[in-house]
């Protein structure tokens, strides 16, 4: 028996990195996972790995910044399994393509809009797509992936602003949906080694700031995701769990 047996959970950006870690762990706990990612081939690969391990996964190629695409993602889950129990809003614009790392005056309005389209509009559209189905059943769990950079300010302005918006959205949605049996929480990861092609020294540089002195891996976040998707967190909503090895001590 797994903690998520028979639950249907959508993971945006689920093909690789942190999203993949969530998808793999949810499936191991018995969930049926919808991998909603713009990268179709990578999504198919992750789905195949879940299947080989005895789990169930559905690929829904999704551009979270597009309303029709987000709606199609939700419909795909309903058509396949007849329900949506959970949504993890993980898809984010940060490293691919590379964002401007520098003062705010060097950030173009176009880049700002691109970051907000995925990191803020994306969670909004995906919540908007799944909530009618969750409200109809009187149950659902939404987990928005924010970032520890919101608490430290150590990143680019456009990224930190977008991740702060995610926390604000989490709080308002929690109040809005509580009467429908829906919980909305967020997870704020620290700098996580989610991209094997990135200079690993950038991850290692954050280690001295942590109480737990090692690089954070995507798998370090999966346990928090399972908790927030399981019945163990049914009376917890509007909260942000910081999972960063003790860099931010609140």
SS (H, E, C) 94-150: CCCCCCCCCCHHHCCHHHHHHHHHHHHHHHHHHHHHHHHHHHHHCCEEEEEECCCHH
Query: What gap in Å lies between CA 27 and CA 48, rounded to an integer?
Result: 12
Q: Residue 182 belongs to what H/E stretch? A: strand 182-189
Task: Specify the pairing of strand 56-61 against strand 86-89.
Answer: unpaired
| Tokens 């058509």 belong to residue | 79
159: annotated active-site residue: yes
Looking at residue 31, the DSSP 8-state letter turns out to be -
The 3-state DSSP class for residue 211 equals coil
Query: What gap in Å lies between CA 35 and CA 51, rounded to an integer?
Result: 12
Query: What gap in Å lies between CA 33 and CA 40, rounded to an integer?
Result: 15
Q: Which of 93, 133, 139, 159 is catalytic?
A: 159
Query: What gap in Å lies between CA 42 and CA 48, rounded to an integer?
Result: 10
Please give the order of strands across the beta sheet that includes 182-189. Answer: 56-61, 32-37, 8-12, 86-89, 140-145, 182-189, 240-243
| Tokens 């299947």 belong to residue | 51
Positions marked active-site: 159
């Amino acid at each position: 028996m797994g903690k998520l047996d028979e639950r249907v959970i959508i993971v945006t950006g689920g093909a690789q990195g942190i999203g993949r870690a969530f998808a793999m762990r949810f499936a191991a706990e018995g969930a049926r996972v919808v991998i909603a990612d713009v990268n179709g081939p990578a999504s198919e690969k992750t789905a195949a790995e879940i299947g080989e391990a005895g789990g169930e996964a559905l690929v829904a190629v999704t551009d979270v910044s597009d309303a029709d695409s987000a709606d199609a993602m939700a419909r795909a889950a309903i058509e396949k399994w007849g329900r949506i129990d959970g949504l993890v809003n993980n898809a984010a614009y940060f490293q691919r393509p590379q964002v401007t790392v520098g003062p705010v005056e060097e950030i173009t309005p176009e880049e700002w809009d691109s970051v907000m389209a995925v990191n803020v509009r994306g969670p909004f559209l995906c919540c908007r797509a799944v909530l009618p189905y969750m409200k109809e059943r009187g149950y659902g769990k939404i987990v928005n992936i924010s970032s520890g950079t919101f608490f430290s300010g150590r990143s680019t302005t456009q990224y930190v602003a977008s991740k702060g918006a995610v926390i604000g959205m989490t709080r308002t949605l929690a109040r809005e949906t509580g009467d429908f049996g829906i919980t909305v929480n967020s997870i704020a990861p620290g700098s996580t080694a989610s991209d094997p092609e990135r200079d690993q020294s950038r991850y290692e540089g954050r280690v001295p700031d942590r109480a737990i002195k090692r690089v954070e891996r995507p798998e370090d976040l999966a346990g928090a995701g399972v908790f927030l998707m399981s019945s163990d967190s049914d009376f917890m909503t509007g909260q942000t769990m910081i999972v960063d090895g003790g860099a931010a001590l609140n």
